[in-house]
Amino acid sequence: MIAPMQDFRPIHHWLGRIRIVLVAPSHPGNVGAAARAMQVMGLRSLWVVDPEDPRIAQRSEAVALSSGAAQVLGDAQVGTLAQALGPVTWSCALSARAREFEPPRLTVEHACEELLLHLDQQPEGQAALVFGPERAGLTNEQLLACGHVCSLDVEPHFSSLNLSQAVQVMAYALRRAARGRSPDATAANAGLGNQRPTARPADHAALMGLHEHLLRVAKQVGYFDPQVPGRFEERLLRLLARKEMWEDEVQMLRGLCTEIERRS
C-alpha cells in the first residue's frame, strides 16, 4: 500500500467538472474498473455511450471490479456521444492511431495542462476525455466530434492498452497536473476569457449546430454536393476543432449563414 499524499490544495473544483466518456464498451468489467480508477483519483462523472448492453454498469462483473466505487458506477449516465458532449466546452479523444483528418494532437502532459487551463479560464466550463471501444477504438466521426486528440506514450509495435488501464493513466495524469498548478498561476489565468472577461467558450452542441448550418448553406449555394461529398464534412469538422471557439464567434458565423440563406 502507498500512503496517499497530503491534499495540500483543493483540486476537486477541477476534477468535478471533468467527465470520462466510454464509447460502446462491451465488457462490464472494464466499466467497473474504469469507475474504480476514476473514484480513487477524484473523478466523479462517468458516461457510457451506446453500449451493447444498456445495463452494463449494473452487471455483477462491473460491480465486482469497481471494488467499492459505488458512487461513480451508480451515477453513470448512458446516452449518445452527442448527449455526453453536449454541455462540454473542452474535449479530447484518446486514440493511438493517427488519422488523415483529426483534431489537433496533444501529448498527455499538454492535454492535461490545456484542460486545466481551460477550466481555470471558464469557471462554468466542463471537459471530457473520450475513450473508444475495446476492439476497434473510436471511429473517424467519433474522433472528429472532439476538439483534441491524445495518445499515450506506448510501444509502437504493441500500442493496445486495456480500456480501464487507459482511464487510470489519464486520471492519474490529470490529478498530478492539478496538484502541480500553483495558486498564483491559477489566479493569474482565471477568467481571462481570451482577454475578454465576459467571453464564454462554445460548447460541443453549439459547434455541431454551426457545422450543420455551414453544411446547409454550402449545399444551398451549390458549393457542397451531398451526392459527391468528398471529404468536405471531415475537413469542416477538423477546421472547427482546430482552435477553441467562443460563443459570440459561433453566433457571428451563424448570423452570416442565416443572411446568406435569406439572400440565396
| pLDDT above 60 (res 26) | yes
Domain coordinates in residue numbering, the chain:
12-189, 204-263
Which pLDDT band, with edges at 50, 70 and 90, does 186 fall under? Answer: very low
Task: Check residues 224 and 157 and name the one with the higher pLDDT.
Answer: 224
Q: What is the mean pLDDT of the chain?
A: 89
The pLDDT value recorded for residue 185 is: 41
| pLDDT above 70 (res 191) | no
The pLDDT value recorded for residue 196 is: 65
The pLDDT value recorded for residue 15 is: 94
- State the alpha helices, DSSP H only, in the chain: 12-15, 28-41, 60-66, 70-74, 81-85, 108-121, 140-144, 163-180, 183-189, 204-220, 232-242, 247-263
CATH architecture designation of domain 12-189 = 3-Layer(aba) Sandwich (3.40)
204-263 CATH fold: Helicase, Ruva Protein; domain 3 (1.10.8)
pTM (2 d.p.)? 0.76
The pLDDT value recorded for residue 197 is: 65
The pLDDT value recorded for residue 42 is: 94
| pLDDT above 80 (res 10) | no
CA–CA distances in Å: residue 242 to residues 36, 95, 108: 33, 17, 18
The pLDDT value recorded for residue 8 is: 41
Stated length of the chain: 264
The pLDDT value recorded for residue 140 is: 93
